[in-house]
Amino acid sequence: MIKKILHYICVAVSGILWSVLLGFIFQQLFFLVYNINLLNPQTYKLLSNFWNSGGVLQGTDIVMWGSLLLYLPVCYYGWRKLWNYKFMRLITVPLNKIANAGLDNYKAPDVNIKNLKVEEKKTLEQMVDERIEKEKKKNHEQSSGSTDFRKKIIEQIEENKK
Question: Is this structure's pTM higher than 0.85?
Answer: no
Rounded Cα gap, residues 160 and 47, in angstroms: 132
Rounded Cα gap, residues 128 and 25, in angstroms: 76
Phi/psi region, residue 112 (left: phi>0; alpha: psi -120 to 50; beta: rest), is: beta
* pLDDT value for 44: 80
Q: What is the dihedral of CA 144, 148, 149, 153, to 10 degrees?
A: 150
* pLDDT value for 118: 66
Q: Give residues with Cβ within 8 angstroms of 18, minimum separation 6.
A: 75, 78, 79, 82
* pLDDT value for 66: 82
Rounded Cα gap, residues 79 and 4, in angstroms: 16
pLDDT tens across the length of the chain (162 residues): 777 888 788 888 888 998 999 989 988 888 888 888 878 888 888 878 888 898 887 777 777 778 888 888 999 998 888 888 777 676 677 777 777 776 666 677 776 666 666 667 778 888 888 888 888 887 766 666 666 777 788 888 888 887
Burial track 55-85 (b if 16+ CB lie within 10 A, e otherwise): eeeeeeeeebeeeeeeeeeebeebbeebeee
What's the CA angle centered on 47, arms 45 and 53, to 5 degrees? 100
Domain map (residue ranges) of the chain: 2-103, 122-162
* pLDDT value for 73: 92
Rounded Cα gap, residues 15 and 82, in angstroms: 7
